[in-house]
Amino acid sequence: MSDSRWAAAQRKEIWAVNGKILRDMAGAGLSVRRMAQVSGLSRDMVGRIMRENADKKPAKELISLMRAAREPALAGGAERDNKPEAWQLLEEMQDETIRREIDHCTVKLSFLGDRPIGVAFVGDQHIAPGSPVDWKRLKRDAETICETDGLYAVLLGDGVDNHLKHTSALLAARSDPTEQYELFAHYLTLFGDKLLVVLSGNHDYWSHDLAGVDVLKLLCDRDQYLYTPHHAFLEFKIGKQEYRVLARHQARGESSRNLGNAFHRLWEDLGPFEVGVLAHRHIPHISDMVKQGSKVWCLRPGTYQIYSDYGRKMGYAPSLPGCPVAFFWGDQHRVYCHSELDLAARQLEDLRLAGDLQAAV
Ligand SMILES: [Fe+2]
Ligand SMILES: [Fe+2]
């Protein structure tokens, strides 16, 4: 099975796991609405997964857990009478709740074979018709990732402008968020089955902050992309080698003068990782640092929105698209990062071909 077909199969597996959990909830008597609240999926998505898993039976342990979760709501009566039960239930569920909150952003992916793979980190597309976006480069980069064997993508957020937080920017925009997200949904299809995970940025999260609606999550649920807000720990297994990458949209400790500074803070707060990736600053960056005797790569993409009214107002220079790529080897523990997507794609093809030739000898 090719790596890309394997990635599609893995997505199917995640889909099946969601199906199992929802099935168990349904077995415990939870409504679709409640299942959507508990799982974090949309109601449409819950209904769809349930239909696709209608012939399978729920697991007993989870049914009893979910029954326990439902009891206070069924009990009714005075609110104060429910409090001890509600507290007890919260205590019973705390380990699971905390574990889910910590683990939900860990994405484990295994790749077949031991040939090297490449992961391109793409962010800050700021898709917004009427604004100075490099549309040609946006499309070309996505197609390059789609067409290059062994090359995958992680999206780092701010895919659209979605200027909900700043009324003046929203009024000045030449497109509305709906139009922007529709174009963004089309843009995601350009990657084929090469998108490993989609993260949110601050522009995406304004919908959640202001209205409690995570539009990007709804879009990813609908189109079956793996989504995690804010950040993701990516754990890759290639051959016998394992790698840990931390990708976030933004971080504490940012410095506009020293773009590598935030990675030190990130490593201390959330490390260890071998590759750290941040976006948000709109300036491409690639550097390394040494932590506990090992080299750690620090990557940032640029932005496809070359200029903006905000940039002009604040006196920023025009920006530059950039899409760093990290190579991971399977036959030895080795990471190498590249700042140029086109060149990285050609090098990766050569490396994988050389691996094939070596295997054939
Ligand atoms: Fe941005
Ligand atoms: Fe941002």
Q: Which residues contact 87 (CB under 8 A, 6 or more apart)?
A: none
Closest by Cα among 330, 276, 26 to 154 = 276
Q: Tell how far the Cα of 126 is from the centroid of ligand 1, in angstroms.
A: 7
Mean pLDDT of 192-212: 94
Give the domain-ending residue among 102, 132, 163: 102
Mean pLDDT of 207-218: 92
State whether 57 and 179 are in the same domain.
Answer: no
State whether 340 and 235 are in the same domain.
Answer: yes
State whether 79 and 118 are in the same domain.
Answer: no
Closest by Cα among 116, 150, 118 to 331 = 116
State whether 18 and 124 are in the same domain.
Answer: no
State whether 95 and 134 are in the same domain.
Answer: no
pLDDT value of residue 163: 86
Q: Tell how far the Cα of 126 is from the centroid of ligand 2, in angstroms.
A: 9
Q: Which ligand has the minimum distance to the alpha carbon of residue 282?
A: 1
Instruction: Work out the percent of the chain whose per-residue pLDDT is above 90.
Output: 56
State whether 181 and 82 are in the same domain.
Answer: no
Q: Are 26 and 50 in contact (CB under 8 A)?
A: yes
Higher pLDDT, 325 or 27: 325
Q: Tell how far the Cα of 282 is from the centroid of ligand 2, in angstroms.
A: 8
Domain count along the chain: 2
Please say if the pLDDT value at position 13 is more than 70: no
- CA angle, 171 as apex, 165 and 176 as ends, to 5°? 80
Q: Tell how far the Cα of 156 is from the centroid of ligand 2, in angstroms.
A: 9
Residue type at 221 in one-letter notation: D
Q: Tell how far the Cα of 162 is from the centroid of ligand 1, in angstroms.
A: 11
Q: Which residues pair with 249 in a beta bridge?
A: none
pLDDT value of residue 98: 86
Q: Tell how far the Cα of 203 is from the centroid of ligand 2, in angstroms.
A: 6
Q: Tell how far the Cα of 173 is from the centroid of ligand 1, in angstroms.
A: 15
pLDDT value of residue 80: 52
Residue 275 and residue 272: Cα distance in Å, rounded?
Answer: 9
Residue range 324-355, pLDDT digits in tens: 999 999 999 999 999 999 999 999 999 999 87
State whether 78 and 182 are in the same domain.
Answer: no
pLDDT value of residue 75: 47
Question: Phi/psi at 18 (nearest 5 deg)?
Answer: -55, -45
Q: Which ligand has the minimum distance to the alpha carbon of residue 254?
A: 2
Other residues' Cβ atoms within 10 Å of the Cβ of residue 101 = 9
Please say if the pLDDT value at position 77 is more than 90: no
The domain containing residue 252 runs over which residues? 104-360
Q: Tell how far the Cα of 15 is from the centroid of ligand 2, in angstroms.
A: 29
Please say if the pLDDT value at position 79 is more than 60: no
State whether 173 and 272 are in the same domain.
Answer: yes
Please say if the pLDDT value at position 208 is more than 80: yes
Residue range 300-324, pLDDT digits in tens: 999 999 987 777 778 888 888 999 9
| Alpha-helical segments (H) within the chain | 3-27, 32-39, 43-52, 60-75, 79-103, 135-147, 167-172, 177-189, 202-211, 215-223, 261-270, 309-314, 341-360
State whether 159 and 297 are in the same domain.
Answer: yes
Higher pLDDT, 257 or 81: 257
State whether 96 and 120 are in the same domain.
Answer: no
Higher pLDDT, 63 or 142: 142
Q: What is the CATH number for 180?
A: 3.60.21.10
Q: Tell how far the Cα of 307 is from the centroid of ligand 2, in angstroms.
A: 14
Q: How would residue 247 be classed by pLDDT, with cut points 50, 70 and 90?
A: very high
Give the domain-ending residue among 63, 85, 102: 102
Give the domain-ending residue among 76, 102, 128: 102
Q: Tell how far the Cα of 281 is from the centroid of ligand 1, in angstroms.
A: 7
Q: Which ligand has the minimum distance to the alpha carbon of residue 278?
A: 2
Instruction: Work out the percent of the chain whose per-residue pLDDT is above 70.
Output: 78
Closest by Cα among 142, 145, 147, 146 to 127 = 142
State whether 232 and 131 are in the same domain.
Answer: yes
Q: What is the pTM of this model?
A: 0.76
State whether 53 and 117 are in the same domain.
Answer: no
Mean pLDDT of the chain: 84
